[in-house]
Structure 1
Amino acid sequence: MAQFVLAGKTDCPHYAKAELLADSLQRCLPNFKIHKISVLPKAWKEWLEDTCKRNGWKHEQSPVIWRELVNQGGKGMLLGGFSDFLEHCQDYYSITSDMPSDVMLSVASENLATKMNLFVEEQHRVSSIKPLHIWFSSALSPTSHFLIPNLLSAEVFPNTSAISLHLLDLEGKEEQLQWLRMETENMALPLLYQVTTHTDLEHAFKEADVILLQDECWSDDSNTEDEEERKKKKLKRISDRYREYGQLIDTRANKEVKVIVSGDSFVNLRCSLLLDNARSIGSNQFVTVATQLENEARAIIAKKLKVRTSDVTHVIVWGNISDSFYIDLQRAKVFNYDGPIKGPAFFSLPAKNILQERKWLETDFQELVRCQRAAVASKSCRVAAMSLTNGILAVIKAWNGICGPDEIFSLGVLCPGDYNLPEGIVLSVPVTFTDRKWSVLSDVTLEDDLKERLQIAARELKQEKELGSENNEM
């Protein structure tokens, strides 16, 4: 089968003549196939240069014609321009073209008008699409590979027709980001509108509707420094980075943006720095994810009670997610427990009534939760990306209205006044979602021991913030 590709400027008379000759051959010869590429005049030069460079050809005029030796898109053999095509048709098929010049010009004019109409229609179609803009920092982290395929779905973002994903990684290489972009595009996800990559902050958070911030780890410059010195340097880098993030979010993001901070270190501090520097955006639009800690605690309890992890609900994480947090079971329930009292599938028992080992709950259990993620990281040589992804997705779904009215989530948020905590501190507290807005759970018991724990966490976070401010002024 003879398969040709004919490309040219839409206003080129010779392209018009070659096009009609090719149409004639295709009608007469069952094994002759033609594929046409019509390019607007202003884009022709760049298109031709790219095509010739990609195929190793030399050609400077319109049209350009080549023969494909395999299916369309495969390696091609350059035939040349209009004269070369005309000569080929005469030699192989004994068919020529005697189109007058005025007809050639008329057809070229029609081609240009048709192409311009199609271009205008496409521009209108594109302008009518209003994609949801999601910005993703530390895009090359292991979490991204789990999060991206699940994030771009109608299950997470209902009533969304298109999503523009913006991959930001200030420590990453452009080549690696391009591979991630290609891999994302190759999934052919229905909601994906476009993917952009960024290794600097020139366009960061522009038009952002959702921002997922997970960058937290920067390599130490020296192994000779003591732990305190390394912590100070890390706090300075974090403070500088997140102050700048906050300022950019304040000026570039949509005012209804949802900002989610996640990770293992200084997550409460990072969220607090954003709040301090994004003054024009409501404080209720910034949260820090503690749901992965909830799930890790649920898994430990489930293993001890020999039930599924999903059978344990309403676990609460209080305090500093990255350090002095406390796992509270005052609202926790256990379903399908094989105990002396049993009931139907909807029947549950308070976790504290089953776990009566108070010493274990206050010591060993708390330490097990702390060590759980570190154990996963040490065995798999990477962060607990899957559990973190699951926690982030759960929060986004709830924020988008996909959760029950009784579901409890632990989120780091700006401290509510009724807990008698210092202002400007972000602590993990239990919240519920209603009408796509979160509110702090009010009917919880704060015993003296828990109040003291929260005060300790608040002081700890205040010291981190002050240390970061001191380093910033150095």
Structure 2
Amino acid sequence: MMLSEEMLAIAEENLQAHLEIVKEDEEIKSLIKPMQIWITSASVPICYHLIPLLASGEVFGMTTEISIHLLDTEQFKEMLCSIVMEAEDMAFPLLRSISEHTKTDQAFIDADIVIVLDDVLLNLEVQSLENYIREVSEICQVYAPLIEKNAKSGVKVISSGKTFANLKATMLRMYGTSIRPENIIAISTSWESAAKAMLARKLNMNTAGVKDVIVWGNITGSNYIDLSHAKLYGYDCAIRGPPNFQRPLLNMIYDSEWIHSELVSAQSTLSSRVSRGRGMLPAHAVATVLRYWYHGSPSEEIISVGILSEGQFCIPEGIIFSMPVRLQNGNWEAMTELEINETTQKVLGRLAHELVQEKLVALKEINEMHPYEAE
């Protein structure tokens, strides 16, 4: 039995000990710097869908706090403020802070990640494609030096959006020479996911069971969906196996006419659907690639990402080109061991030509894009 006075004294000691522990935890927490994420053109729908994915903990882990910085022009300040307030109201445990910015000269301070969403609204009846390309180049000439000056030395730069995803990444590399080339990528996972869904509907199966579809080339321009390595998991057919049992996709689509003709026309429909999307799909694509970049992509699975060409697959060097990669330990590696047939190799030459032409126009080395001439 214990006297009331003794119990009160012990309770007081316990309270003081608890308060000291809480204070110590807060001091330690204040020393931990959250990951700084900057998003440009933050008024676009992609950003609105991306914020909850980043703040949920699924991308960087449940112990990594983040601070999000939304950058856009002064005309979108009110919209940015609304997004900030809504994100704060959601009280994400890992979101240390979120803020809006309209002064470009203060952009990218201490950035760990920069997500470039800037688009130019294409209307070829108003001005030529070349003028839009030069407009993209001008945007990158502003961003690249600021990233070099203000961001952390190991900053990761991601290009996404509906237009010129590859070109933006290429120009940021050209104008930001001190940014590590391997840290600038373009997101092609939206196309990859949409193509898998199209194939799953054709096969009447779950989209998640379609793997290793490759997107080659210009993500928001001319690209090629390669099914030569695609596999199906959990497909309802005569042969059954364990969960890791897979079947080659081309062996399961018996309608060869659909593969050789309708798939091409279906790609134009796919392009239209991707470009008209409300932002959920590209936001998911950005979050997925970021998660793979920091924690590794699934073992033995092919992921398509726009990366700097160093001559892989006979693609010209110096352009950002979507190709198959694996991501491990914070790095990507082109899957050069994959066999590429002659037909695909010819297509890659045409796709590379378009990206080289875009780069030359952006650098003002040529005035007009020249059509591709097959050898």
Q: TM-score of the superposition, structure 2-length normalised?
A: 0.85
Counterpart residue identity of residue 90, structure 2? M
Residue 302 of structure 2 corresponds to residue 404 of structure 1: no
Q: In structure 2, what is the equivalent of residue 458 of structure 1?
A: 352
User: Residue 411 of structure 1: SS of its match in structure 2?
Assistant: strand
Q: Deviations over 1:35-93 (max 9, x none)?
A: xxxxxxxxxxxxxxxxxxxxxxxxxxxxxxxxxxxxxxxxxxxxxxxxxxxxxxxxxxx
Match of 2:217 in 1: 319
For 1:119-130, what aligned pairs fall within 5 Å after superposition?
A: 128-130=31-33
Note closer, same or farther for the CA distance 1:340–1:176 as it changes in structure 2 (3 Å cut).
Answer: same
**Distance across 2 between alignment mates of 1:472 and 1:383:** 33
Report what 2:21 is aligned to: none
The CA deviation string for residues 176-203 of structure 1, in whole angstroms up to 9 with x for no partner, is 1111111111110011111121123121
Aligned partner of 1:176: which letter? M
Paired with 2:137 and 2:72, the residues of 1 have a C-alpha distance of: 17
- Give the partner amino acid of 2:120: C
Contact persistence 2:144–2:175 (CA under 8 A): yes
Query: 1:422 is matched with which residue: 316, 331, 334?
Result: 316
Aligned residues: 345
Q: Work out whether 1:269 is the aligned partner of 2:167.
A: yes
Residue matched to 1:194: 97
Alignment of 1:367 onto 2:270? no
Q: What one-letter code is carried by the residue in structure 1 that aligns with 2:36?
A: H
SS in 1 for 2:47: helix
- In structure 1, C-alpha distance between the alignment counterparts of 2:324 and 2:337, rounded to whole Å: 10
Q: Secondary structure at the match of 2:363?
A: helix
The correspondence of residues 284-363 of structure 1 with structure 2, limited to 5 A, is 284-363=182-261
Helix, strand or coil for the counterpart of 1:149? Answer: helix
After TM superposition, the structure 1 stretch with the greater mean CA deviation from structure 2, 417-426 or 147-156, is 417-426
Partner of 2:277 in structure 1? 383
Q: Is the 8 A contact 1:413 1:426 kept in 2?
A: yes
> How many angstroms apart in 2 are the aligned matches of 1:306 and 1:391?
23
SS at 1:407 equivalent: coil
Structure 1 residue 359 displacement after superposition: 4.0
More divergent stretch after superposition (406-415 vs 164-173): 164-173
1:395 maps to what in 2?
A: 289
Query: What is the aligned partner in structure 1 of residue 10 from structure 2?
Result: none
Change in Cα spacing, 1:471 to 1:139, as seen in structure 2 (3 Å) is farther
Change (3 A) 1:468 1:174: same
Task: For residues 194-247 of structure 1, give each alpha carbon's deviation from its aligned partner in whole angstroms, at most 9, with x where no partner exists.
Answer: 112112312111111011111113486xxxx746x3323221211100122112
Distance in 1 (alpha carbons) for counterparts of 2:202 and 2:94: 41
Q: Aligned partner of 1:399: which letter?
A: W
Larger RCO (alpha carbons 8 Å, 6+ apart): 2
Task: Please say if residues 293 and 327 of structure 2, whose CA atoms lie closer than 8 Å, have aligned partners that are also in contact.
Answer: yes
The one-letter code sitting in structure 1 at the alignment partner of 2:171 is L
Contact 2:190 2:274 in 1 (8 A): no
Gaps of 5+ in 1: 1-120
Q: RMSD between aligned alpha carbons?
A: 2.5
| Seq. identity, % | 34
- Tell me which residue corresponds to 1:147: 50
Matches within 5 A, 1:251-266: 251-266=149-164
Q: Pick the structure with greater CA Rg.
A: 1
Moved more, 415-424 or 262-271: 415-424
How much has 1:407 moved relative to structure 2? 2.4
Q: Deviations over 1:300-333 (max 9, x none)?
A: 1101111010011111111111122111112211
Check whether the contact 2:295–2:330 (CA below 8 A) recurs between aligned residues: yes
After superposition, residues 9-408 of structure 1 pair within 5 angstroms as 128-158=31-61, 160-170=63-73, 172-218=75-121, 226=125, 229-375=127-273, 383-408=277-302
Q: What is the CA–CA distance in structure 2 between the aligned matches of 1:388 and 1:443, rounded to whole Å?
A: 28
Structure 2: which amino acid aligns with 1:351?
Answer: L
Q: Which consecutive unaligned segments of at least 5 residues does structure 2 have? A: 1-23, 368-375
TM-superposed CA distance for 1:409, in Å, is 1.0
Task: Report the CA distance between 1:360 and its aligned residue.
Answer: 2.4
Q: Secondary structure at the match of 1:392?
A: helix
Give me the whole-angstrom Cα distance separating, in 1, the residues matched to 2:119 and 2:366: 17
2:364 alignment partner, SS class = helix
What secondary structure, in the 3-state scheme, does the structure 2 residue paired with 1:341 have?
coil
- TM-score (ref. length: structure 1): 0.68
Structure 2 equivalent of residue 47 of structure 1: none
Say which SS state the counterpart of residue 273 (structure 1) adopts. helix
User: How far apart are the structure 1 equivalents of 2:160 and 2:354?
Assistant: 19
Residues 160 and 367 of structure 1, relative CA distance in 2, 3 Å threshold: farther
1:469 corresponds to: 363
Q: Secondary structure at the match of 1:173?
A: helix
| Cα distance change of structure 1 residues 410 and 459 upon mapping to structure 2, 3 Å threshold | same
Residue identity in the other structure for 2:211: T
TM-superposed CA distance for 1:416, in Å, is 2.8
Question: What residue identity is the alignment partner of 2:304?
Answer: S
| Distance in structure 2 (CA, Å) of the matches to 1:255 and 1:321 | 27
Q: 1:356 Cα deviation (Å)?
A: 3.9
Instruction: Note if contact 1:135-1:211 (Cα within 8 Å) is conserved in structure 2.
Output: yes
